[in-house]
Amino acid sequence: MASLKRLLVGTPIRTARLAHERLTKKTSLAIFASDALSSTAYATEQILLVLAAAYVAGQTDAFSRVIPISIAIAILLVIVAISYRQTIYAYPSGGGAFIVAKENLGTLPGLVAGASLLVDYVLTVSVSVAAGVEAITSAMVGTRFADLHNHRVWLCLFFIAFITVANLRGVREAGSLFAAPSYAFIFSFLCLIGYGLVRYYLNPGLVPAPNDVDLKIAEGYHAQPLNLLLLLGAFANGCAALTGIEAISNGVQAFKQPESKNAATTLSWMAALLITMFLGASVLTRLFNIHPLEHETVISQIARIVFVGRLGWFYYIVQATTASILILAANTSFAGFPRLSSLLARDRFLPRQLSNLGDRLVFSNGIVVLAVFSGVLVWAFRGDTSRLIPLYAVGVFLSFTLSQAGMVVHWWREGNMLRGMREAAGLSTPFAPATQSQSENNLAGKFEARRLTEASRSMAEVEQFQKKSHWKKYLVINGIGAISTFVVLMVFILTKFMHGAWIVVVLIPLLVLMFLRIHRHYFEVAQQLSTEGLEGLRPIRHQVIVPISGIHRGVIAALEYAKSIAPHHVTAIYVNLDEESTQKLREKWQQWGSGVNLVVVASPYRSLLRPLLNYVDRVKRSSPGDVITIVLPEFVPAKWWQNLLHNQNTLFLKGALLFKRGVVVTNVPYHLEH
Amino acid sequence: MASLKRLLVGTPIRTARLAHERLTKKTSLAIFASDALSSTAYATEQILLVLAAAYVAGQTDAFSRVIPISIAIAILLVIVAISYRQTIYAYPSGGGAFIVAKENLGTLPGLVAGASLLVDYVLTVSVSVAAGVEAITSAMVGTRFADLHNHRVWLCLFFIAFITVANLRGVREAGSLFAAPSYAFIFSFLCLIGYGLVRYYLNPGLVPAPNDVDLKIAEGYHAQPLNLLLLLGAFANGCAALTGIEAISNGVQAFKQPESKNAATTLSWMAALLITMFLGASVLTRLFNIHPLEHETVISQIARIVFVGRLGWFYYIVQATTASILILAANTSFAGFPRLSSLLARDRFLPRQLSNLGDRLVFSNGIVVLAVFSGVLVWAFRGDTSRLIPLYAVGVFLSFTLSQAGMVVHWWREGNMLRGMREAAGLSTPFAPATQSQSENNLAGKFEARRLTEASRSMAEVEQFQKKSHWKKYLVINGIGAISTFVVLMVFILTKFMHGAWIVVVLIPLLVLMFLRIHRHYFEVAQQLSTEGLEGLRPIRHQVIVPISGIHRGVIAALEYAKSIAPHHVTAIYVNLDEESTQKLREKWQQWGSGVNLVVVASPYRSLLRPLLNYVDRVKRSSPGDVITIVLPEFVPAKWWQNLLHNQNTLFLKGALLFKRGVVVTNVPYHLEH
């Protein structure tokens, strides 16, 4: 086992290397952006799938609505990206929706954001891997591997396992593993769009007739007119394009210094690429009159049309890089989920094991938990992207909204503090310290105040301070972000509730309840374990009980041990299962008892445990306040299978005694040779 | 769980009731004879299945050979039954092949007999249940439940589970459960034979033409002439009729007093019934020209022909009682297997848990083991009787042979002793005591010698002694039994080796090896645990180590406990995972350490266990001969799920320390409230 783990995961890494595990901008674009960029591979298709409901109802121009919807989504994307740039600067130590909401809105909104993000991460893995596998099976249409479509679920599970192992090896190695495919995808997708446009304008007659036999409609939709609700549904589906955009703000700490600046630059690049690729794909579907199909993705259809003849091989490049980026997009979550759950665990809202750094300096437990949940989800939804999408965006947009709302409060407080400082200084100098009472409940404020009272007021600080004076502008920007993402969230719940979104709507409150329950438990444990009220170590009065099954070296070792603890308070206890053996024991006891009191208890039902436990209870009642030690003679066989040849009474007894208060269990092992 | 067990198995029974759990002759005929008698339901068919190989080769009169073969088997049956009557009297304390072979031939032949019997018991369950299910599916031929045939395996497993539960409830209750079906079968089968004969002689024109489309041939046979090998094969197959005849001699102790007499009478009745029913069935197959079929048993075919018209309902009585007896025949093994394995376990050839009397005064572990193995066998052979039969009789006849050979030696020694006694008394009186040396190695002889030297020499003893003087006659009878069963064993191996008998031929030596291996282990354990060479209890020098994770009430309780064991030899050990926490601990230690030495160890790879174990090793090396006690502070959550919220380091540590010699582990639990 141990060596299998070493082979897969690698040898342990020293804690001292922790600081070195940071990412360059290029590598982090590959890691953090793969989720957001990869969604271009399915976002357009998700819009078309809903519009198809109007198309089959006779509205032949229904698919043309993909353009205005895509533009609306692109605008939303710009708003969200600008909002998140502000977050990155305001929270250079890293902190996505969870930290921002917790610090500014309070613990409960923070936990809601945390729960949404955890759900979102799990869904990112499931959706991305499912879409990646669809890219592969699409490429098989028309070949003799066409039935690969039926083995989707197993393929998905295989890829999840693959990414899990890669991440257990550690974040930097995972980064270098994923950099090449990310850039290859960006390159091939931009080629597809560029060459597609050129090709269309050189030869518009290329467009083939769409194949309506295999037409696919979004899960839960039926033929219906092109009304507002349907358009909103299509818009909501397309918002899958925005997922993953927050990943960078969660992981600012993973960047090389200066973290904030590098992270913000990376975010801008990512947003620009995302808009180009998403709008490009949407435009191409119109140009080439693409309809969503059951057995082939929209991107695959476009690529087949664009790359024909001598460029046919490039179709496979597009599919291969799309599949790679999608499957590796899941990797974003494998960075984010363990990081967030370690934050929640450190605040005692999740089991503390999730905050343990593993052998390879990654939060191994979180990685494994994510792998298990996303695997279950893929299996439950048969690896079908369009069935997973309705669950997807609720968590994403809920956390967007909370994060932006938190930022609004953040700027408002910042502004208040600034005003307070100016007033305190009689408006003469902006550098007067804030009064303690004003900023007491504001961590950022306190920090600022301390900084400002320090002697050295460098030019950098002046700049920093002047920047902060733009708080009104920042507040408005994040306010717009908060309102627009909230509206989208409502649209989403409205249009997708029955299609699966209800699962997430129910799940998030349950998760929050779980967080609170766990938190209360840790709090109560800490209270109960607190040393308050104690004064040094107290002496102990002992009662020692040695259950014996006869006289042998193991028993004698236990008796010796028991006598060494409390020479005059040892009792040996023997369960009488047949009279003959009991008589023999009594005789032997003359020689070996060494004055230890022997108690023989009856057992009419041939049980060993019951009479022993009853006896312990009796001693407890007769000597309240004493510590009762059960000294268990135990012989340890040399080979594991030999345990099968011995009664496991000691084990059962240990288990039963664990729940008795005031009882200490001591194993005196006697090791056998062969 | 516990209450489910109570519901299925019933409440525990006191040990004191053990003596009352004895069987009357009527009940024991039902229990012990069901195996032997039920084999009449398939023995004839197994002969026909082999003869079918000659029939399809054009030898149209092949099936007529069933009569001479059946007569040969009946003669063998008489020989074996008489032999076993002698065993019952010679071993009134009960003892089948295992005890007889062990006492007279030595341990190894005894173990071979034991292994054969265990295999035989497992096969009895599998074959009987499979044949019982075939009786049920045969009755469904021509009805709309005809496809029940395809669900045989599940039906078999269901019935095995049913019998298992019945037996776990206890032997007497099981007996009363099975008495009615056994007698109903005997009655209906005798009716079938009687009415069948009457019917045939009143109206011989009744015989229908056989259905050769569905003709079945024994597994592994192909069309071939009717040569000696084929006849021997048919004979060997038919010997399945003899299985189960030894059951009574294994369980003499289960009878009411006088045990031997009651057991012998029951055996005679059983043999008489068996011969009548088996020969009767064979004769009827000839009279009605029955051929073995794929989808219907031979007995079912006969009953369909005999009971037509107004008596049609009696056909279903025959099938129902046949199915019942077959399924319940498995019950013989559920009495025998646990009894034999408890004997083997008591002699330390099997895990001693098999000799534990369970809650309900039955050897529950043996019952469960039997159920598991027979279930696996039924599943592996798809519940097909004819595929299981070739495995069946090897074990049976091997144990017959060893048992009879053991009896031959028994009588030979008895004769020797008698001669010795006569010689010692100068032939004047037959009551002179045997010399010690002559009878030393003979338990029965010793017993006899002691009895004879006693003062009261009653008439009963004289009679007994005179009986024993017939030892030559007894020796010849058992000799004939041994030789004939040995010949059959050879025939069986010769004709069935390739058809599956090889499995048993390989398995029995492996089992014997396992017995010997287990025996050696127990012997070595006893030697190592022997108190020889010890002189009373020795004093102990302590080194106490308390691994701590900080300062809290649980740790303080552990420190108090540690100091009470060895006030001046306690060391607290702390693993440094981060400098800040370590510094805090050092400060707190001033207050709480109470003079206990604090050791902080480094852990570059963030492991807790490794540094602790290394430290323990260091202490062991520096203080050889001292007992090292690890006192583990452990807090016990109030609810089980709360364990998920705490590191299970204590558990891992305990596991790792179990294998360190000279290390005692003490848990000081601290119980949490909610």
Q: What residue of A is the nearest CA neighbor of B591?
A: A536
Q: Across the interface, do A538 and B560 touch by the CB < 8 Å criterion?
A: yes
**Interface contact B556, partner A, CB < 8 A:** yes
Amino acid B9: pLDDT: 65
CA distances from A47 to A40, A278, A296, A298, A497 (A): 11, 12, 15, 11, 17
Q: What residue of B is the nearest CA neighbor of A637?
A: B525
Amino acid A72: pLDDT: 95
Amino acid A429: pLDDT: 47
3-state secondary structure of A600: strand
Amino acid B47: pLDDT: 94
Q: Choose the weakest-confidence range: A432-436, B301-305, B350-354, B523-527.
A: A432-436
How far is the first Cα of chain B from the last one, in angstroms, to the nearest whole number? 25
- Residue A212 near residue A58, CB atoms below 8 Å: no
Residues of A in contact with B672 (CB under 8 A): 524-525, 528
Instruction: Express each pLDDT in B247-258 by its tens digit.
Output: 788 778 778 878
Pairing of strands A627-636, A663-671: parallel
How open is the CA angle A21-A24-A29, to the nearest 5 degrees?
A: 115
Closest CA to B481 of B116, B100, B40: B100
Q: Across the interface, do B537 and A560 touch by the CB < 8 Å criterion?
A: yes
For testing the chain A interface, which of B17, B645, B649 should be mutated: the one with the most A CBs within 10 Å? B645
* d(CA B524, nearest CA chain A) in Å: 8
In which residue ranges of chain A is pLDDT below 50? 1, 20, 428-446, 449, 453-457
pLDDT band at residue B1 under the 50/70/90 scheme: very low
Distance CA A189, CA B268 (A): 91
Q: DSSP assignment of B35-49, as one string?
A: HHHHGGGTHHHHHHH
Q: What residue of A is the nearest CA neighbor of B604?
A: A14
Distance CA A25, CA A35 (A): 16
Q: Choose the weakest-confidence range: A163-177, A647-661, B46-60, B389-403.
A: A163-177
Instruction: Express each pLDDT in B408-418 by its tens digit.
Output: 999 888 888 88
Give contacts of B 588-647 with A, CB under 8 A.
592, 594, 604-607, 627, 629, 635-637, 642, 644-647
Judging by beta carbons within 10 Å of its beta carbon (0-12, 13-18, 19+), is residue B93 exposed, middle or buried? Answer: exposed
Residue A102 has φ and ψ, to the nearest 5°, of -65, -45
The tokens for A623 are 């000597």
For testing the chain A interface, which of B517, B605, B658 should be mutated: the one with the most A CBs within 10 Å? B605
Q: Is B595 left (phi over 0), alpha (psi -120 to 50) or beta?
A: left
Q: DSSP assignment of B579-626, as one string?
A: HHHHHHHHHHHHHH-TT-EEEEEE-TT--SHHHHHHHHHHHHHHSTTP
Closest CA to A232 of A419, A53, A94: A53
* d(CA A456, nearest CA chain B) in Å: 28
3-state secondary structure of A569: coil
3-state secondary structure of A571: strand
| Cis, bond preceding B258 (omega within 30 deg of 0) | yes
**Interface contact A536, partner B, CB < 8 A:** yes
Q: Is B170 left (phi over 0), alpha (psi -120 to 50) or beta?
A: left
pLDDT band at residue B435 under the 50/70/90 scheme: very low
Q: Among positive and negative, which fits the CA dihedral B160, B166, B168, B171? A: negative
Amino acid B457: pLDDT: 47
3-state secondary structure of A11: coil
Amino acid A51: pLDDT: 94
pLDDT band at residue B246 under the 50/70/90 scheme: confident
Q: Which residues contact B131 (CB under 8 A, 6 or more apart)?
A: B38, B41, B42, B297, B326, B385
Distance CA B387, CA B121 (A): 17
pLDDT band at residue B8 under the 50/70/90 scheme: low
Distance CA B671, CA A336 (A): 36
Residues of B in contact with A616 (CB under 8 A): none
3-state secondary structure of B287: helix
**E-strand spans in A326-373?**
none
Distance CA B47, CA B32 (A): 24
The tokens for B386 are 């004819």
Amino acid A490: pLDDT: 92
Residue A131 carries which side chain, given as an amino acid letter? A
The tokens for B621 are 């090396």
Give contacts of B 438-477 with A, CB under 8 A.
none
Distance CA B265, CA A386 (A): 78
Q: What is the CA radius of gyration of chain A?
A: 33
The closest CB to that of B554, out of A522, A529, A667, belongs to A529
Amino acid B302: pLDDT: 92
Residues of B in contact with A534 (CB under 8 A): 553, 556
CA distances from A539 to A311, B475, B560, B562, B575 (A): 87, 77, 7, 10, 27
Q: Across the interface, do B658 and A645 touch by the CB < 8 Å criterion?
A: no
Residues of A in contact with B564 (CB under 8 A): 539-540, 542, 565, 627
Q: Is A476 left (phi over 0), alpha (psi -120 to 50) or beta?
A: alpha
Give contacts of A 497-526 with B, CB under 8 A.
518, 521-522, 524-525
Count of pairs with CB atoms under 8 A, one residue in A, one in B:
173
How far is the first Cα of chain A from the last one, in angstroms, to the nearest whole number? 24
Higher pLDDT, B211 or A359: B211
- Residue B664 near residue A666, CB atoms below 8 Å: yes
Distance CA B189, CA B44 (A): 14
Q: DSSP assignment of A103-154, as one string?
A: HHH-HHHHHHHHHHHHHHHHHHHHHHHHHHHHHHHHHTTTSTTGGGGGGHHH
Q: Tokens 């003669």 appear where?
A: B75
Q: Tokens 């007067």 appear where?
A: A432
Q: Across the interface, do B672 and A524 touch by the CB < 8 Å criterion?
A: yes
Residues of B in contact with A553 (CB under 8 A): 528-531, 534
Helices in A16-65 by DSSP H: which ranges? 25-38, 43-55
Please list, residue by residue across A323-348, b when 16 or more beta carbons sit within 10 angstroms of its beta carbon and e when fewer do: bbbbbbbbbbbbbbbbbbbbbbbebb
- Residue A368 near residue A164, CB atoms below 8 Å: yes
Pairing of strands A663-671, B663-671: antiparallel
Amino acid B126: pLDDT: 94
How open is the CA angle B339-B344-B349, to the nearest 5 degrees?
A: 155
* d(CA A580, nearest CA chain B) in Å: 14
Distance CA B638, CA B632 (A): 19
Distance CA B524, CA B513 (A): 16
| Cis, bond preceding B390 (omega within 30 deg of 0) | no
Q: What residue of B is the nearest CA neighbor of A16?
A: B604
Give contacts of B 355-414 with A, CB under 8 A.
356-357, 359
**Span B546-555, mean pLDDT?**
89
Helices in B56-151 by DSSP H: which ranges? 66-90, 97-105, 107-139
Q: What residue of A is the nearest CA neighbor of B664?
A: A668
- Residue B86 near residue B477, CB atoms below 8 Å: yes
- Residue A110 near residue A495, CB atoms below 8 Å: no
3-state secondary structure of A79: helix
**Interface contact B585, partner A, CB < 8 A:** no
Q: Is the pTM of this model over 0.80?
A: no
Closest CA to A400 of A495, A509, A484, A506: A484
pLDDT mean across residues, chain B = 84
